[in-house]
Structure 1
Amino acid sequence: MVDPLTLAAFIPVALALNLTPGADMMFCLGQGLRSGPRAAIAASAGITLGGMVQVALAGLGLGALVAALPWAFDVIRWVGVAYLLYLAVQAWRSSRAAAREGQGMSVTRAFGTGFVVNLTNPKVILFVLAFVPQFVVPEAGSVLVQFLIFGAVLGVGGFVINGAVGVFASGIGRRMARGGRALGWITSGIFVALAARLAVLERT
């Protein structure tokens, strides 16, 4: 089990990291703008689940393999870039139809997309490997269990904060609903920016 004092030290650090704008927050913001609060919350939940999978992989040691093999990092990264660009094209193509129908991405699709977006960002697992072990004490029990506990803290904080950002953005999105085409361009631009950010990531 995790020592309570260690956990107490971890929580504020994790919260500070959750509050730092990043790809996950931008994705939820885009979902809130385009598809409303429910989709934003679903996207945040998908991102959280993807993060927990990456934490589990890191705890099992697979993250070290990704860190050691440049080609594995690049394969995952470019799959993520391609997927984000695909989403950008879809957002652009569907802008007129969404404006007519008053619909954006469904809750189910937002959840699945958030999950995939997180899994195809190899920087997450490298970050987990660099950050979480600082708080892991092997003598305290299973390293994997400790990884999962710390990962759950990061995940819950991220879910609440990213979801809140998306819900806030949905209020702006509703006021822009009449400009459906412009909203589609904004959402598409967010996806392109995320793809560009992922494309220039370096293994550090």
Structure 2
Amino acid sequence: MTLTSYLSYLAFAIVVIVAPGPDFALTVANTLRGGRTGGMLTSLGIATSNVVQGTAAALGLGALIVHSQLAFNVIRWAGVAYLCYLGVQTIRSAIKGQYAIDDTADVNGGRKAPAWLRFQQGFLSNITNPKVLTLYLSVLPQFLGTSAALPDALLLAYSHAFFGFAWLVVLVTFLHQIRAFLRRRRVRRTLDAATGVAMLGFGAKLATEAH
């Protein structure tokens, strides 16, 4: 793989990364709920899932899942259900409108959610989206030569995971910087409602997309 091919891949990957999707919506929602720590843990969970899926694609394991109608649909419908669950929970939070004064608190039914939950949500929302795996399988070969070695494929996959994580860190940092504005009840309710609807929309889109 040449440097030109790698840079071309990065340009493509960055466009895909910055486009708002389920990862973006969930990171925003969890940053609002759990502050910077919640957002960072969600981002780390998403990045970990990207590493897992990228590794599977590079090793050829991802192709087995994508080409298996049963396995693909099981993962897809699990992703649909999980996105809808997260979306409904976020909308319920907007309807209740009960927020902690401290922006670093995380109120969930009156109790602070454990930190690992945010990592888990990021990981599960990404790992149950088979379109991520399909993206790796369809894009990586276009930037690799016919005689490309495994390290080249892993480099591309891990680069996507790294820059995706970096983008989410920037997002979380920005939201943390404007936390005083985001603490306003009307703003929080609006953002919760918007991100909840967005997650439901992404879930519906995943449900209707053909394999």
Please indicate, yes or no, whether the TM-score normalized by the shorter chain is above 0.5.
Answer: yes
Aligned residues of 2:25 and 2:195 also touching (Cα < 8 A): no
Partner of 1:165: 171
How big is the shift at 1:122?
Answer: 0.2
Q: Which runs of 5 or more structure 1 residues have no equivalent in the other structure? A: none
Give the alignment of 1:43-192 within 5 angstroms: 43-93=42-92, 96=96, 99-100=99-100, 102=102, 103-104=105-106, 106-141=114-149, 143=150, 145-171=151-177, 174-179=180-185, 184-192=192-200
Q: Which runs of 5 or more structure 2 residues have no equivalent in the other structure? A: 107-112
How big is the shift at 1:60?
Answer: 2.1
How big is the shift at 1:101?
Answer: 6.8
Q: Percent identity?
A: 31
Aligned residues: 200
TM-score normalised to structure 2 length: 0.79
Q: 1:132 to 1:140 in 2, by over 3 A?
A: closer
Counterpart AA for 2:58: G
Two-structure CA RMSD over aligned residues (Å) = 2.7
Q: 1:181 to 1:7 in 2, by over 3 A?
A: closer
How big is the shift at 1:107?
Answer: 4.0
TM-score normalised to structure 1 length: 0.81
Aligned residues of 2:41 and 2:115 also touching (Cα < 8 A): yes
How big is the shift at 1:46?
Answer: 1.2
Aligned residues of 2:46 and 2:122 also touching (Cα < 8 A): yes
**Residue of 195, 202, 206 corresponding to 1:198:** 206
Between Structure 1 and Structure 2, the one with more helix by share is 1
